[in-house]
Amino acid sequence: MKRYMLLLFLLVPFSGYAQQQTINNYKYVLIPEKFSFLRESNQYELNTLTKSLLEEKGFAAYFDNSDIPKELAGNRCNALNAEVVQKKGLFVTNLTLLLKDCQGNIVFKSKEGKSREKEFDVSYTLALRDAFTSLNDVPYAYNGTTNAAPQQVTPAPAVAPATTPAPAPAPAETKDAAGTLYAQQTPTGYQLIDTTPRKVLTLFKTSVADYFIADNGTSHGIVLKKNGEWYFEYYKDDKLIAEKLLIKF
């Protein structure tokens, strides 16, 4: 008999220490707005009293249908769930506080809080406060390592890199064609002559069809085909000039 008593004496403090370490893994506690043994939400103000007593203990307590922090909304396993259960008795109110994890495992169980008051609101309040004395006997300090179930992380959608919009075309001053020009092929492109005959423009081929580097002796630019018509574009006094050409190839 003495051996059993000694073993029990050794196990009790060890169990309390393990329990203490477990509740320290949780920062948050969720409280329902109605306990199962009551008919109405927050009847006898037991739910608000539970929240208040948990906050006095140091927990961040929230009603389970209220706005809650983002880290808790994303994973409710970051919180304990508070339950108060009643054991029916004759002329006595018996209430027990349970703190459970998200899988329903009991992390903390208080003693049976008792009251023999005849008025229900007084009796329930005193019994709940008596049950909470068990929690008050256990030191609590959140250790920052919440006991939470693994949370599936959805990768954020890939964001396409921002593209720089192409610059708008420069406005050009357009000039009409002075007359028909005749194209004579050269090793590097064409030379355009008028009816005099006089060389008016030299064209140098590029890797793009209908696109030439052009030189008229005084201005350097490009000759290109737009909407079926040829233009000689060049800058003069920082202004873009588009000179229309009539070319016979």
Full DSSP string of 51-68:
HHHHHHHT-EEEETTS--
Q: Is residue 232 a contact partner of residue 204, using CB atoms and an 8 Å limit?
A: no
Predicted confidence band of residue 60 (pLDDT cuts 50, 70, 90): very high
**Whether the predicted pLDDT of 137 surpasses 80:** yes
Residues 166 and 161: their CA atoms lie apart, in Å, by 15
pLDDT-derived band of residue 157, with 50, 70 and 90 as boundaries?
low
> 93 forms bridges with which residues in the sheet?
88, 115
CA dist., res. 195 & res. 201, Å (int): 13
Q: How many residues are listed for the chain in this entry?
A: 249
Residue 17: pLDDT band by 50, 70, 90 thresholds?
Answer: very low
Q: Provide the pLDDT for residue 151.
A: 46
- Torsion-angle region of residue 53: left (phi > 0), alpha (psi -120 to 50) or beta? alpha
Residues 6+ apart with CB under 8 A from 181: 192, 193, 194, 200, 201, 245, 246, 247, 248
What confidence score (pLDDT) does residue 155 get?
58
Written as one letter, the residue type at 223 is: V
CATH placement of domain 17-136? 3.40.50
Q: Per-residue pLDDT tens for 78-108? A: 899 999 999 988 889 999 999 999 889 999 9
Say which residue, 157 or 21, is predicted with more confidence.
Answer: 157
> How does DSSP classify residue 111?
-
Q: What is the dihedral of CA 220, 224, 227, 230, to 10 degrees?
A: 70
Q: Name the average pLDDT for the chain.
A: 84
Per-residue pLDDT tens digits for 185-235: 999 999 999 988 899 999 999 988 899 999 988 888 999 998 889 999 998
**So where are the chain's domains?**
17-136, 173-248
Q: Which residue matches tokens 């009796």?
A: 123
Residue 214 is predicted with a pLDDT of 93
Yes or no: say if 232 and 201 are a contact pair by the CB < 8 Å rule: yes
- Residue 11 pLDDT exceeds 60: no
What whole-number distance in Å separates Cα of residue 60 and Cα of residue 50? 12
Torsion (CA) 138, 144, 145, 148 in degrees, nearest 10: 90
Q: Which two tokens stand for residue 184?
A: 């004579």
User: What are φ and ψ of residue 206, in 5° steps?
Assistant: -125, 180
Residue 113 has pLDDT above 50, yes or no: yes
In this prediction, residue 160 carries a pLDDT of 64
Q: What is the mean pLDDT of residues 29-40?
A: 93
